[in-house]
Amino acid sequence: MSKFRNSHKQARVPITGRNHSSPNPGGFRGMFRLNDLAYTKLVVHALKYPHKTVNGLLLGQHSSSDGFVDIVDAVPLQHHWTNLSPMMEVGLGMTANYAHSRQLHIVGFYEAPERVGDTTLSRVAECVIGKIKETNFPTPVALVLDGSKLGEEGSTALVPYTCVANNFRRADDKLKLNKTIPTRALHLVRQSNILNDFWDFDNYLEDNRAPFLTNGAVGTALIARQ
């Protein structure tokens, strides 16, 4: 998956856990804004497992000022059992409870396919997005990381999808992020050992000390480089 990434080493899935009300304020413009923490976690997850498909959840909330949904964090789920629905259900439930504790919602799903240049939304992603729409957030987004464009100047390497009337559509104009974020994320990977201090839910299943919900080392590293 991309030159940079390679330089580093069908189930319907229910979401369980606490579910606070799903907001749908009238001012929502169908737009999503991704911050540096969420983007960096997504990229670090993909680069830690360059030869595998990885996926995770996006956490956020509606902005009261401009109607955007602000995606402020990401929780990495899987790199190994990406189609194992019982395990994914547990991870989704834990993430739902974590989001609730922070007064956030699960607002989307991300995946980075193992095949370079593949930007197709997987069946697993469609199922998870459908469940998020039913139980957590009525207007979720799915992000696919295009490994062939990771590190390409001027590219976020992300392909967004939204679900309209049960049909998934590319929505490139619906995602906004600061143009400096991708470069900063890649610099963090190059200039630190963050890959060795990053954990997903699969890691947690092997060692329950793995802090996959928070991955606090990423936020600490970003702050240190401001």
CATH number at residue 120: 3.40.140.10
In a domain, 62, yes or no: yes
In a domain, 59, yes or no: yes
pLDDT attached to residue 42: 98
Q: Which domain holds residue 154?
A: 3-19+36-221
Residues 41, 42, 47, 48, CA torsion sign: positive
In a domain, 24, yes or no: no
* pLDDT tens for the 226 residues of the chain, in order: 555 555 444 343 445 555 444 455 444 468 999 999 999 999 999 999 999 999 999 999 998 788 899 999 999 999 987 665 688 899 999 999 999 999 999 999 999 999 989 999 999 999 999 999 988 799 999 999 999 999 998 899 999 999 988 889 999 999 999 999 999 999 999 999 999 999 999 999 999 999 999 999 999 999 998 8
pTM above threshold 0.85 = yes
pLDDT attached to residue 82: 65
In a domain, 226, yes or no: no
In a domain, 158, yes or no: yes
In a domain, 75, yes or no: yes
In a domain, 157, yes or no: yes
Domain tally, the chain: 1
pLDDT attached to residue 181: 97
pLDDT attached to residue 6: 52
Residue 54 tokens, joined: 């990885």
pLDDT attached to residue 5: 55
In a domain, 31, yes or no: no
